[in-house]
Chains A and B, each alone.
Chain A
Amino acid sequence: EVQLVESGGGLVKPGGSLRLSCAASGFTFSSYSMNWVRQAPGKGLEWVSSISSSSSYIYYADSVKGRFTISRDNAKNSLYLQMNSLRAEDTAVYYCARRWLLAGMPAFDPWGQGTLVTVSS
């Protein structure tokens, strides 16, 4: 079964740091680009960052550029998101998602169950 499991969320003070992890199983992790997507409480979905299969290409949303760092370890089938200088507006459920080419076009499938990050003093 293809599965993604996030961990590492929690309560952190403004200005603090947190590292999220996403463990992949059931597919050849090293063959796929991966993404982080977040959802603030009661709000919609916001793409955060993406990383190519070999880490050659990395992209960030403007809202997190310079503060967040995406990385992966293909030997460990794991994706990471290092979040620094956290702000209240970073409070959200963070999902990891596989980028899959379907009919030659990208889609996100599957998604993990999400991990909640709360930034508050």
Chain B
Amino acid sequence: DIQMTQSPSSLSASVGDRVTITCRASQSISSYLNWYQQKPGKAPKLLIYAASSLQSGVPSRFSGSGSGTDFTLTISSLQPEDFATYYCQQSYSTAVTFGPGTKVDIK
């Protein structure tokens, strides 16, 4: 299986901050990388697909980049509704795998 790692595992930030989360795959996955946001008690929500494409309805302050093994999710100006846990997911293999998550909370 393809292993996914994320860093940091958690971070504290203030409204308006620029936030960057990193995701790394154990082997090259081209651009088969998605990002999800999950709030407590809710289902995950797709934010970014194919490494850098913004899902319909997702605010433009979210962006993704990377290819191969290294990927980044950036929130350009953190808003109160963005405090959540973020997961990357590789869909290169049939057995998709998720990163362990990055929890973003209020400083």
Q: Are A103 and B97 in contact (CB under 8 A)?
A: no
DSSP majority for the B interface? Answer: loop
Separation of A70 and B49 alpha carbons in the complex (Å)? 26
**B83 part of interface (Cβ distance < 8 Å):** no
Q: Are B43 and A105 in contact (CB under 8 A)?
A: no
Interface residues on B, range: 20 to 34
Determine the residue in chain B with the shortest Cβ distance to A99: B91
Q: Are A44 and B87 in contact (CB under 8 A)?
A: yes
Which residues in A have their C-beta under 8 angstroms from that of B45? 111
Q: Are A102 and B53 in contact (CB under 8 A)?
A: yes
Residues of chain A touching chain B, judged by Cβ–Cβ distance below 8 Å, are 35, 44-47, 50, 59, 61, 95, 102-114
Residues of chain B touching chain A, judged by Cβ–Cβ distance below 8 Å, are 31-32, 34, 36, 38, 42-46, 49-50, 53, 55, 87, 89, 91, 94-101
